[in-house]
């Protein structure tokens, strides 16, 4: 199971593969920047592979059933990359995109980057949930409608549209 603390430790460890491979700190800067040839898409795919949520080699080998599962996971990854790019734009006060390809994260906001963007995306993949998440007016993040039969977990953010009586849950 992926937890917020677990993910933050993975992303912020000084000798960790992900931080040393994907982030650099420029002298006299308070931002962690992606290395020159990595964008958010490459970062997210490599992180998913590092966490062993996806194994590309299984797309070419193994049983037909396993190949189908990995293809479905690949589709979910592509969907979550789109969600991630939306979330980055939504939280642009804490995270900024340079040249539309290179991610730059303020060191002071690195925990927010991990908790508000990376954790919901990875949790979505871990649970293999194929929900359609959408933005709501005047609300940060992505949301989906809750059916009446669904139960909620502790710490889920929920919104009730009083005009339509529709309940939403935040990613």
Residues 97, 152 within the same domain: no
pLDDT at 48: 86
Average pLDDT, the chain: 77
Residues 24, 98 within the same domain: yes
Residues 63, 95 within the same domain: yes
pLDDT at 142: 92
pLDDT at 91: 80
Residues 115, 143 within the same domain: no
Indicate the pLDDT class of residue 150, thresholds 50, 70 and 90.
low
Q: Residues 15-44: pLDDT tens digits?
A: 555 555 566 665 556 666 666 567 788 888
Residues 140, 73 within the same domain: no
pLDDT at 88: 84
Overall domain count for the chain: 2
Share of the chain above pLDDT 90, in %: 9
Indicate the pTM of the whole model. 0.78
pLDDT at 127: 85
Residues 51, 120 within the same domain: yes
Residues 119, 58 within the same domain: yes
Residues 13, 90 within the same domain: yes
Residues 102, 168 within the same domain: no
Where in the sequence is the domain holding 166, given as residue range(s)? 133-171
Q: Residues 102-149: pLDDT tens digits?
A: 677 777 777 778 788 888 898 888 888 888 899 998 888 899 888 765
DSSP code per residue over the chain: ---HHHHHHHHH-TT-HHHHHHEEE-TT--EEEE-TT--HHHHHHHHHHHTTS--GGGGTSS-HHHHHHHHHHHHHHHHHHHHHHHHHHHTTTTEEEETTTEEEEEGGGHHHIIIIIIHHHHHHHHTT-----B--TT--S-EEEPPTT----TT--EEEETTTTEEEEE-
Residues 143, 167 within the same domain: yes
Residues 138, 160 within the same domain: yes
Residues 113, 167 within the same domain: no
């Amino acid at each position: 199971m992926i937890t917020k603390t677990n993910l933050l430790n993975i992303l912020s460890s000084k000798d960790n593969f992900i931080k040393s491979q994907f982030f650099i700190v420029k002298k006299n800067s308070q931002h962690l920047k992606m290395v020159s040839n990595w964008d958010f898409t490459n970062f997210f795919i490599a992180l998913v592979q590092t966490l062993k949520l996806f194994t590309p080699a299984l797309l070419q080998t193994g049983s037909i059933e396993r190949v189908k599962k990995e293809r479905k996971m690949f589709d979910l990854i592509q969907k979550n990359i789109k969600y991630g790019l939306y979330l980055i734009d939504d939280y642009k006060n804490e995270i900024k995109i340079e040249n539309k390809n290179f991610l730059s994260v303020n060191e002071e906001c690195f925990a927010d980057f991990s908790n508000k963007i990376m954790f919901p995306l990875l949790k979505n993949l871990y649970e293999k949930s194929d929900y359609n998440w959408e933005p709501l007016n005047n609300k940060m993040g992505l949301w989906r409608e809750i059916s009446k039969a669904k139960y909620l977990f502790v710490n889920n953010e929920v919104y009730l549209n009083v005009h339509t009586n529709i309940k939403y849950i935040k990613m």
